[in-house]
């Protein structure tokens, strides 16, 4: 698959939903603030109404001085009469007062109204204070339901719209995908025919340098073909791991590239100080080795050599490729897709990008050391979790993983 349409739709659905939600939820914030302020005003008016009721009760009591005054008691609020120094004459309030001046006050979830009374009119009290609790739960719940509705609606609309827009591109992408697969198949057939006929010619007429060049070119084309095939299948095929004799497989790939290296009179040498079997996928391992070897040969100077080492590093194994060529200007960029330092060299700049995707998903460490005009060294470290069996050929040390 060239493009992951579903991934594209999901990604931009969430991005679009986030942006639009922020824009639409900004007014909701001001709406919540407005509702809270409105509730504060209603609470203040309620406290004033309660105090007016208490004052009327005390005024009515003033006409019956021989009776006992019963201070009004409400379930939604508590009140009290206080002297000038705010010591209580009578109070239902048990909490500590937040302020000692007249007006409307806030303290956590409690609201207070402090009113100054006429001098010596109501039981020698100076202040009437009323306390009541306030809750914004219903405001928050209402805002949450509105916000959830807005986000859900935008999410569904965004997914529907983007999915509708992506359908034409999806059809084009599928046709392009089919075209590439058919083209790859058509390329593979003549490559196989060329290789078979070159081998037959060699058997009948003996080795020929011109046919060796043809066969070398077809091997390079086969490497590019395998890269393209891997890219096409990468998102749709599961590559299963298996036990691979790394030494034998490495020798096999070295033999494959020998004819290519001979065109530049480059010597391929391999030195294995450890015999190791790993749990890995054969296709991925081929892409890793082939792309590294292909680049080493491509960017090496004529009449030089490419060295391959397989070494033990503590409990891990290091596969190292060393060439003596032009070196790399930007080692960090060499793993980027379509990056090529020398535009005159063949290739599309996708080989090392494939290698990067493989080492990232397989937890393989890659160290690149390069010096312009002298060459490059690529070191792949296979960690101990991938190693099934390992024998150090220098000291005979044998390690085996038991599953």
Q: Is residue 307 scored above 90 in pLDDT?
A: yes
C-alpha of 192 from chain center: 42
**pLDDT score at 402:** 44
Q: Is residue 80 scored above 70 in pLDDT?
A: yes
CB of 267 closer than 8 Å to CB of 289: no
Out of 77-91, 225-239, 270-284, least confident range: 225-239
Considering the chain, tell me which residue range(s) the CATH 3.30.565.10 domain(s) occupy: 239-400
Higher pLDDT, 243 or 314: 243
Nearest to 321 by CA among 283, 289, 353: 289
Phi, psi of 378 (to 5 degrees): -110, 120
Phi, psi of 178 (to 5 degrees): -65, -40
Report, as an integer, the average pLDDT of 91-107.
86
Q: Which helix (H) or strand (E) is 322 found in, with range?
A: strand 316-323
**Using 50, 70 and 90 to split pLDDT, how confident is the model at 141?**
very high
CA atoms within 13 A on the CB side of 147: 17
**Using 50, 70 and 90 to split pLDDT, how confident is the model at 151?**
confident
Task: Output the average pLDDT for the chain.
Answer: 82
Give the CATH class of 239-400.
alpha beta
Report, as an integer, the average pLDDT of 358-372.
89
Report, as an integer, the average pLDDT of 192-200.
73
Highest mean pLDDT among 60-69, 135-144, 192-201: 135-144
**pLDDT score at 99:** 74
What is the pTM assigned to this prediction?
0.54
| Three-class secondary structure of residue 318 per DSSP | strand
Q: What per-residue string of b and e applies to 1-14 under the rule 16 or more CB within 10 Å gives b? A: beeebeeebeeebe
């Amino acid at each position: 698959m060239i493009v992951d349409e579903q991934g594209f739709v999901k990604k931009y659905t969430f991005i679009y939903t986030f942006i639009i939600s922020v824009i639409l939820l900004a007014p909701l914030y001001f709406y919540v603030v407005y509702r809270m302020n409105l509730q504060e005003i209603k609470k203040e008016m309620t406290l004033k109404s309660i105090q007016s009721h208490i004052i009327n009760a005390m005024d009515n009591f003033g006409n019956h001085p021989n009776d006992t005054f019963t201070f009004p008691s409400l379930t939604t609020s508590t009140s009290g009469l206080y002297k000038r120094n705010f010591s209580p004459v009578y109070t239902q309030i048990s909490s500590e007062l937040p302020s000692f001046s007249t007006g409307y006050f806030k303290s956590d979830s409690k609201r207070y109204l402090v009113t100054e009374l006429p001098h010596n009119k109501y039981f020698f009290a100076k202040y009437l204070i009323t306390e009541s609790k306030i809750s914004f739960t219903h405001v928050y719940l209402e805002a949450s339901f509105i916000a959830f509705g807005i986000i859900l609606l935008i999410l569904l609309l965004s997914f529907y719209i983007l999915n509708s827009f992506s359908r034409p591109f999806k059809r084009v992408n599928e046709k392009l995908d089919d075209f590439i697969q058919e083209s790859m198949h058509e390329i593979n057939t003549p490559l196989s025919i060329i290789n078979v006929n070159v081998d037959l010619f060699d058997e009948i007429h003996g080795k020929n340098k011109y046919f060796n060049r043809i066969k070398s070119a077809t091997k390079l084309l086969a490497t590019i073909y395998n890269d393209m095939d891997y890219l096409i299948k990468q998102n749709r095929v599961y590559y299963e791991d298996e036990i691979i004799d790394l030494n034998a497989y490495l020798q096999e790939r070295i033999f494959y590239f020998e004819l290519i290296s001979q065109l530049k009179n480059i010597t391929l040498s391999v030195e294995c100080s450890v015999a190791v079997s790993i749990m890995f996928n054969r296709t991925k391992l081929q892409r890793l080795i082939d792309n590294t070897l292909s680049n080493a040969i491509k960017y090496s100077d004529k009449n030089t050599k490419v060295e391959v080492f397989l070494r033990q590093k503590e409990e891990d194994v290091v596969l190292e490729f060393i060439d003596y060529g032009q070196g790399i200007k930007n080692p960090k960029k060499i793993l980027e897709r379509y990056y090529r330092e020398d535009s005159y060299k063949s290739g599309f700049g996708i080989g090392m990008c494939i290698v990067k995707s493989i080492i990232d998903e397989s937890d393989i460490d890659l160290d690149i050391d390069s010096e312009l005009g002298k060459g490059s060294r690529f070191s792949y470290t296979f960690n101990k979790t991938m190693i099934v069996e390992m024998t150090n050929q220098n000291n005979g040390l044998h390690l085996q993983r038991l599953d």
